[in-house]
Amino acid sequence: MQSFSDAKRIAHPAAKPDGKVELSLPARRKRAPGAGEGANSPDFITALARGLDVLRCFRHGVTALGNLDLARLTGLPKPTISRITYTLTELGYLRYHPDTGKYSPGYGVLALGFGLLAGLEVRELAKASMTELARATGGAVALGAFDGDAMTYVEAIHGSSALYLRLPVGYRASLDSAMGRAYLASLPPQACADALARLGETAPDAAAVERARVELRDTGCCYAIGEWQSGINAVAVPFSSITGEGVFVMSCGGPASLLPEADLRTRVAPLLQASIAGLAGAAA
């Protein structure tokens, strides 16, 4: 006998008591996320997006922001910001400091972040090879993913006490970094052009991105030699994770005194490529 669950999966005509047949119509297919409509989609919740924009203002090195600061950074009216910060504070995603009248991230944000990291398989798989690479080069090794307008570190390992730039998990590197250029270079040309157009004035120089595309094609790596931050050299490689979690970029960098350009290109780059060999499912 067919079970009820089986019957629901099969679109057989249903007989009514009077003998007439009533066809079962298939359920309306839900609109897939990222279907291309963006903010114009009827499913897009503007108020939620604005709240998340406020949370994104609290970047690495930013300890506290007031409503005026947030209004300036987001372009939203101050009354709107006041309602958003009140709501986020009530929900535990912001903390209010009466002595300064400013806000800082609450523990709710921390819980969200750790929820992501705990479930990210590629991060766990990458730790051993990242640690080995950091030990072999003395550099800072980071694993990052694209996050709207930056590359967010999901793992970071530092191989030397000589590193004066020690960036933590959660740091958002600009797309003009070696990591950012590598991600953009991995995109199909039209997708890359669309991403640069969305970024507007904050987009990296188009010539630098095209140079990164050529480097990636010819060498499998992208470089930033003192361009992202003065005196800092870095190399990065994009890859599609074998876990199916998307495109990630692994980078290795450090001060030019520790990783001069020649060493970065001839020794560090091959080591970096070897580090992602067991992580990449397909070409990014």
What are the Cα distances from residue 172, in Å, to 51, 147, 169?
19, 8, 9
Please check the confidence at residue 185 and state whether its pLDDT lies above 80.
yes
Indicate the pTM of the whole model: 0.71
Q: What would the DSSP string read from start to end of 66-90?
A: -HHHHHHHH---HHHHHHHHHHHHH
Please check the confidence at residue 2 and state whether its pLDDT lies above 60.
no
Give the model's pLDDT for residue 213.
Answer: 95
**Contact of 181 with 222, CB cutoff 8 Å:** yes
**CATH class held by domain 119-282:** alpha beta
Give the model's pLDDT for residue 1.
Answer: 41
CATH number of the structural domain 44-111: 1.10.10.10
Give the model's pLDDT for residue 26.
Answer: 46
Domain definitions of the chain by residue range? 44-111, 119-282
Task: Give which of 60, 65, 114, 71 is closest to 94, Cα–Cα.
Answer: 65
Q: What is the pLDDT of residues 124-183, one digit of tens each?
A: 999 999 999 999 999 999 999 998 888 999 999 998 876 766 788 888 899 999 999 999
Task: Give which of 145, 246, 282, 184 is closest to 156, Cα–Cα.
Answer: 145
Q: Indicate the residue type of 182.
A: A
Number of Cβ within 10 Å of residue 79's Cβ equals: 10
Please check the confidence at residue 235 and state whether its pLDDT lies above 90.
yes
> Average pLDDT for residues 47-75, to the nearest whole number?
89
Between residues 197 and 237, the one the model is more confident about: 237
Tokens of 191: 């997708």
Please check the confidence at residue 265 and state whether its pLDDT lies above 60.
yes
Angle at which helices 67-74 and 46-56 cross, to 10°: 110
Coarse DSSP helix, strand, coil percentages of the chain, rounded to the nearest 5 percent: 45, 20, 35
Please check the confidence at residue 73 and state whether its pLDDT lies above 70.
yes
- Residue 217: which pLDDT band, with cuts at 50, 70 and 90? very high
- H or E stretch including 281? strand 280-282
Length of the chain: 284
